[in-house]
């Protein structure tokens, strides 16, 4: 399995609770019984601070309506199919990762362990670990952080795009598809981290509960509950040398288009 597939899967894989035998598709349908299929064509993310942070993501489809590639203009992931099934993803980039889309500085949705789910099966409390520099020891140490996640009631807008990429089929056959080694710890972990509804906020705290970073997303939805635009506000909290806290806020706007 191409290791560049793992960052992409960290965003794409769907929750499968250890006590539940439903397929990925069934779990999404249970959480979103009225969901209508829509397929992402473009996502444009514009930074209010620095135009060099702007991102334009394009999802391309082949003649069979399958995802053929995802690109941000610099990095491209290419989807390869064999006998109608997804067999590999090559190239670079993790253009649909939560960290990329929400401009998050942490990898909670790539490396985290879910502590709690909501009633829909969304992960709402995640523990993850980061390497941070310790000025006292002049070395890097592993620190424990927590991510608290909230959701809108609308469905995850990426689900049907992932289905068109063959990834949902991979999940539904997780014990059978040895091509992707879907029994690996990384993939099993990634499965547990995928949200069924659309994320509205993420709050990061350290192991003492101190607030580190907040992300809040406010969306405009169309008549079938897919976001057409949104504003993401990210605020970092950093201790100063006088015992106070400095805050730094960044704002990003996002625009979505879908296939006809």
Neighbours of 26 (CB within 10 A): 14
Residue with tokens 């993850």: 128
Residue with tokens 């690109």: 71
Q: What is the pLDDT of residue 153?
A: 97
Give me the residue spans of the domains in the chain: 5-258
Q: What is the pLDDT of residue 73?
A: 87
Q: What is the pLDDT of residue 166?
A: 86
Which pair of tokens denotes residue 240? 């100063």
- Close Cβ partners of 5 (under 8 Å, ≥ 6 residues apart): 88, 89, 180
Q: What is the pLDDT of residue 4?
A: 33
Average pLDDT across each block of 10 residues of the chain; the chain has 260 residues. List them in order.
36 34 76 96 95 93 95 90 86 58 62 89 91 86 93 95 84 49 52 83 93 95 97 92 89 94
> What does the longest C-alpha to C-alpha distance in the chain come to?
63
pTM exceeds cut of 0.95: no
Q: Which one, of 117, 199, 191, 193, lies nearest residue 155 by Cα?
A: 199
Q: Which one, of 236, 226, 230, 234, lies nearest residue 251 by Cα?
A: 234
């Amino acid at each position: 399995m191409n290791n560049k597939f793992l960052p992409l899967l960290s965003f794409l894989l769907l929750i499968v609770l250890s006590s539940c035998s439903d397929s990925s598709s069934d779990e999404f349908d249970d959480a979103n019984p009225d969901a209508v299929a829509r397929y992402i064509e473009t996502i444009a993310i514009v930074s209010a601070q620095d135009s060099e942070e702007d991102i334009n993501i394009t999802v391309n489809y082949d003649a069979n309506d399958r995802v053929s590639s995802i690109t941000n203009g610099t990095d491209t992931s290419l989807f390869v199919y064999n006998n109608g099934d997804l067999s590999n993803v090559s190239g670079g980039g993790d253009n649909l990762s939560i960290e990329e889309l929400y401009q998050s500085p942490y990898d909670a949705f790539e490396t985290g362990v879910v502590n709690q789910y909501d009633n829909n099966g969304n992960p709402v409390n995640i523990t993850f670990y980061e390497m941070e520099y310790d000025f006292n020891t002049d070395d890097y140490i592993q620190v424990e952080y927590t991510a608290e996640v909230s959701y809108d009631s609308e469905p995850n807008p990426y689900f049907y795009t992932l289905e068109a990429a063959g990834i949902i089929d991979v999940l539904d056959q997780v014990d059978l598809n040895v091509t992707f080694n879907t029994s690996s710890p990384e993939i099993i972990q990634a499965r547990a981290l995928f949200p069924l509804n659309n994320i509205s906020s993420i709050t990061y705290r350290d192991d003492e509960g101190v607030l580190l970073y907040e992300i809040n997303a406010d969306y405009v939805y169309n008549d079938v509950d897919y976001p057409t635009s949104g504003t993401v506000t990210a605020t970092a909290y950093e201790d100063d040398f006088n015992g106070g806290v400095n805050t730094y806020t960044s704002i990003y706007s996002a625009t979505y288009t879908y296939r006809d």
